[in-house]
Amino acid sequence: MNDKPNVTYITFGGHVELQKYRFLYFAMTFSVYVLILCSNSTILCLIWVRRSLHQPMYVFIAALLCNSLLLSTNVYPKLLIDLLSDVQITSHLACRIQALIYYSLCGSEFLLLAAMAYDRYVSICKPLQYQAVMRKRTVTALLVLAWLLPSCQLVPSLILGDGFRLCKFTLNGIFCNNAVTKLSCMTSAGPYIIYGVFILVNTIFVPLAFILFTYCKILVISYRRGSDVRKRAMQTCAPHLLVLVSFSCLCSYDVIIARLDIDLPKAARSIMTLQVVLYQPLFNPIIYGLKMKEIHKHLKRLFSRSRICVCVALINN
């Protein structure tokens, strides 16, 4: 399938069982993508416009929602095109770039959650030092580190991938993830496994350990300081913990499906591989919109004004 010289194309095998109802799947996927764009963008714009939300905690929430938008946009547009196409193909290089962006943004999610945990730790455990520690420069540095570190660590995988010849040209999925490495002819997978473990430790296990340690410290100190501190800690930390638990479970699921040869129907496998870009981008704005008091208050005002505007427009017509 080489229409251009020196370009290797691969086929997505996961679309075979989706072709019969592809227009239905297209409508459902398009609706989900629009919902993701609208829900995340609404809270993003709200944080941007409202001066009372220009605080480190809300800046990190905005960064997390922005990360969800980028993660979804990396997958959904190509997926929607493939659902309407008779042949679902992509170049091997484009596939590896999509996988790199996908896992880079997943790593960024964990690092952003770690930055949020640090922000909550300073706010609750060292309130008098909060303004001095969480300055604009510190917040910017944490955001840049969260987005650059995973991508810089994953770039060598593109160079490593060029050294392997392809033995298979059909990817068992509907978008490019870690399963793309199984298409290569590897005489020895040892270096690649060591490199993968290094990435996992740096971008997932270290941030997870830091987050758990930080929230344990917050729990201990809040219980020592009385009910008011405990209530404040629960109100601000609970949404972050819910997002962390859900995202960790979804990422674990994704790794298992991508790497292990589990005998599943292709339609079921395809839906399961989409879970990270399906549930999490929808889950984040719901959690932060409902559980964060300030965001919820501004959202209620926004929707009440929208209802009034709609009613006035209907009356005038």
Contacts 24+ apart (CB under 8 A), 299-303: 299/42, 299/43, 299/46, 302/42, 302/46
Identify the CATH number of the domain in which residue 34 sits: 1.20.1070.10
Residue 232 has what pLDDT?
75
**Mean pLDDT, consecutive 10-residue segments, the chain of 317 residues?**
55 65 86 93 89 89 93 91 83 85 91 92 88 91 93 82 73 78 71 79 88 88 78 78 79 61 59 75 84 78 64 57
Residue 196 has what pLDDT?
77
Q: Is 200 within the bounds of a domain?
A: yes
Residue 184 has what pLDDT?
74
The C-alpha atoms of residue 121 and residue 126 are separated, in whole angstroms, by: 7
Range of the domain at 225: 9-316
Residue 279 has what pLDDT?
82
Q: Is 3 within the bounds of a domain?
A: no
Listed in sequence order, the residues at least 6 apart from 239 whose beta carbon sits closer than 8 Å to its beta carbon are 287, 288, 291, 292
Residue 24 has what pLDDT?
86
Report in angstroms the alpha-carbon separations of 4 from 1, 8, 9, 33: 9, 8, 10, 32
Q: Is 264 within the bounds of a domain?
A: yes
Residue 155, token pair as written in the block: 């770039």
Q: How far is CA 33 from the centre of its chain?
A: 14
pTM of the model: 0.85
Q: Is 43 within the bounds of a domain?
A: yes
Residue 33 has what pLDDT?
93
H or E stretch at 249:
helix 227-259
Structural domains counted in the chain: 1
Are the CB atoms for 181 and 199 separated by under 8 Å? no
Q: Is 203 within the bounds of a domain?
A: yes
Q: How far is CA 219 from the centre of its chain?
A: 27
Q: Is 225 within the bounds of a domain?
A: yes
Q: Is 188 within the bounds of a domain?
A: yes
Q: Is 283 within the bounds of a domain?
A: yes
